Amino acid sequence: MTELLDQLVLHEGLELLPYKDSLGIDTIGIGRNLEHRGLSEEELVHLGKDISDICEWGITKEQAYYLAENDIKIVEEEVCKAHPCVVELDEIRQRVIIDMAFNIGVPRLNKFVKMWKAIDEQDFAEAKVQMLDSRWANQVGNRAVRLSNAMDTGEWV
């Protein structure tokens, strides 16, 4: 989990005060979408704050990591339900998939049909090609290069 969190901080950033992301959506922490996912009652209790406190004063690094861990659990569950083959991947390739899903959501990730076919066939070089041949890759630049290389090699560099 630590490696994945560090990877997400590299790609998503870590912001302790609410901000507008590139799409104009209120966000905090490590890419927590405050408009669509929001904060659950359980999370607010854990944070010891209400939403107005968070909007005014922000959160701590530890609280941002707590929210990101919750997000990762949700994304992992959604991805594994949609694509059971993910469970059979090595840790690095699982991190690639979770990172992509964290970034664009599982519904959009499901549209990478040729990538999923290549992964099912364990043709990771082709999965890399399909990842890079996408609008997503053009939008995220170096993130796509890092993730596609990791998908291909099974190594994080």
What CATH number is given to the structural domain containing 99? 1.10.530.40
Q: Is 32 helix (H, G, I), strand (E, B) or coil?
A: strand
- Only one residue has tokens 């929210």, namely 67
Do 92 and 23 sit in the same domain of this protein? no
What is the C-alpha to C-alpha distance for residues 14 and 58, in angstroms, rounded to an integer?
12
Same domain for 66 and 18, yes or no, is yes
Distance CA 152, CA 9 (A): 22
**Chain segment 36-56, per-residue pLDDT in tens:** 889 999 999 999 999 999 989
Q: Which residues, in sequence order, are CB contacts of 4 under 8 Å at separation 6+?
A: 72, 95, 98, 99
pLDDT per residue as tens digits for the range 15-28 = 999 999 878 989 99
Domain of residue 50: give its range: 1-71
Q: What is the mean pLDDT of the chain?
A: 94
The pTM assigned to this predicted structure is 0.89
Asked if residue 87 and residue 60 are part of one domain, the reply reads: no
Evaluate whether 65 touches 30 at the Cβ level (below 8 Å).
yes
Q: Are residues 100 and 140 in the same domain?
A: yes
In this structure, are 64 and 118 located in the same domain? no
Q: How far apart are CA 2 and CA 140, in angstroms?
A: 22
Residue 113, in any domain of the structure: yes
Q: Is residue 76 part of a domain?
A: no
> Is residue 16 domain-resident?
yes
| Tally of domains in the chain | 2
Q: 44, 71, 98 — which closes off a domain?
A: 71
Based on the fold, state whether residues 64 and 89 are members of the same structural domain.
no
CA distance 127 to 27: 30
In this structure, are residues 88 and 54 in contact, taking their beta carbons and an 8 Å threshold? no
Same domain, 137 and 103: yes
- Per-residue pLDDT reduced to its tens digit, 95-154: 999 999 999 999 999 999 999 999 999 999 999 999 999 999 999 999 999 999 999 999
Strands 15-20 and 32-33 turn out to be: unpaired
Q: How far is CA 107 from CA 13, 40, 125, in A?
A: 23, 22, 23
| Domain final position from 23, 38, 71 | 71
